[in-house]
Amino acid sequence: MSSILIQNGRIIDPSQNLDRVTSVLLRDGKVAAFDVAPSEFDTVIDATGKIVTPGLIDMHVHLREPGREEDETIATGTASAAAGGFTSIACIPNTVPPIDTQATVEFIQHQAARAGHCNVFVVACVSKNREGKELAEIGQLVEAGAVAFSDDGAPVFDAELMRRALEYCGMFDKPILNHAEVLELTRGGAVMHEGFVSMLLGLPGMPSAAEDVMVGRDIALSEATGGRVHVMHVSTSGGVELIRRAKKLGVRVTTEICPHHFTLTDESMRTFDSNYKMSPPLRSRGDVDACLEGLIDDTIDVICTDHAPHALEKKMQELDIAPFGIVGLETCLPLTITQLIEPGHLNWEQAIRKLTINPARILGIDKGTLAVGADADVTIIDPSCRWTVDVDQFKSKSKNSPFGGWELTGRAVTTIVAGKVRYQL
């Protein structure tokens, strides 16, 4: 019998509307009790001045393995997740080969279990080989353990395929996570948001309409089929407003946002640094303000990373060649604290909800809570420590972050998975 008693911490668990200073006992991998005194058999963690939450969940992570191990492996990606306070992640299937068979789902599960850093849930392909032509074997992939479906880093561009996918996934109550981009509107070497800054820099841009049109299409198809659509990394004011209206009408649509999209604007591209190149791109100040409103009124359900590691030699290429994306697992929580909680956009309960129980409910996984009997996945946060981001200290294999050198507030100091300490600062 193993037991850990976390005492004197401020426990915030939105799934139980719990916010108070007390103790929580973890025993044999489960949450056992609250408000208990230590016994001689317990390992005691003093969380005085700390915040204790259900283990954080990131529903949008690119682990790269199999096929692109020069960028990340399942072992390094999950170690990065634990260092960022995440006890569970969902991995996206744009690997090589893509995750479109039972065998690849089982490979991910096996490698994740062997690494032993955190829980890994598999998002499988909507279409075979992510080609957008033929549905993957959805039923078999669900049987293998897939919790959701996506063709990200590309959209499900064929509307009829998307309609049939929603109908089929609806039979299993699984969501489709779609990258909202109309490719016809962004082709031609677009590298950033289309607007005043792109015009000044002479760089080809991605118009907001490319995202808005796809969000509108997916909402219409969700309404027509009753299927669940999750809009990945929303970034435009138009997209936020479409989702807000759809929710009011009862459409089964949810969405997420990444820290770079509520922190940075397209002004960052004046540096010509490829670590600011991402898809969807960094948007205008007006878009960022609309996203903040969406976070505040709960139009935006989830905060996630879109952790997209790329080896240094890939990001060091010319801007039009360098790949899209940045790493994010180890800066997500500190940016949430620094950019959302400290300025007063969100309170702790709202932020933790978007990092725990909301992604758990969308994915349909039994996580995101500290209810007695739940898995003992816990994140302990120091909310006030000031620290400077050093990308060379990242557990991730790649270092492509625009936040190197930034001074941030707060971070995870202890990550516990199934009752075992997997990371400690």
Residues assigned a catalytic role: 306
The contacts of residue 393 (CB under 8 Å, 6+ apart) are none
Q: Where are the beta strands (DSSP E) in 349-406?
A: 378-388
Residue appearing with tokens 């607007």: 195
Question: CA-to-CA distance for 188 and 185, rounded, in angstroms?
Answer: 9
Q: Using CA atoms in the order 209, 214, 216, 220, what is the torsion angle rounded to 10 degrees?
A: 160
Q: Please say whether the beta carbons of 167 and 229 come within 8 A.
A: no
Paired tokens of 330: 């180890």
Question: CA-to-CA distance for 173 and 88, rounded, in angstroms?
Answer: 20
Kindly state the helix (H) or strand (E) to which residue 255 belongs, with its residue range. strand 253-257
To 10 degrees, what angle do helices 102-115 and 74-83 make?
A: 50
**What DSSP string describes 119-150?**
EEEEEEPSBGGG-SSSB--HHHHHHHT--EE-
Report how far apart, in Å, the C-alpha atoms of 308 and of each of 91, 248, 305, 380 are.
11, 33, 8, 25
Task: Give residue 384's region: left, alpha or beta (phi > 0; psi -120 to 50).
Answer: alpha
> CA gyration radius for the chain?
21
Nearest to 161 by CA among 130, 183, 132, 184: 132
Paired tokens of 296: 């505040």
Residue appearing with tokens 């969700």: 222
The size of the chain, in residues, is 425
To 10 degrees, what angle do helices 208-225 and 159-170 make?
A: 40
Decide: helix, strand or coil at residue 184. helix
**Terminal-to-terminal C-alpha distance of the chain:** 25
Q: Please say whether the beta carbons of 228 and 168 come within 8 A.
A: no
The contacts of residue 312 (CB under 8 Å, 6+ apart) are 398, 399, 400
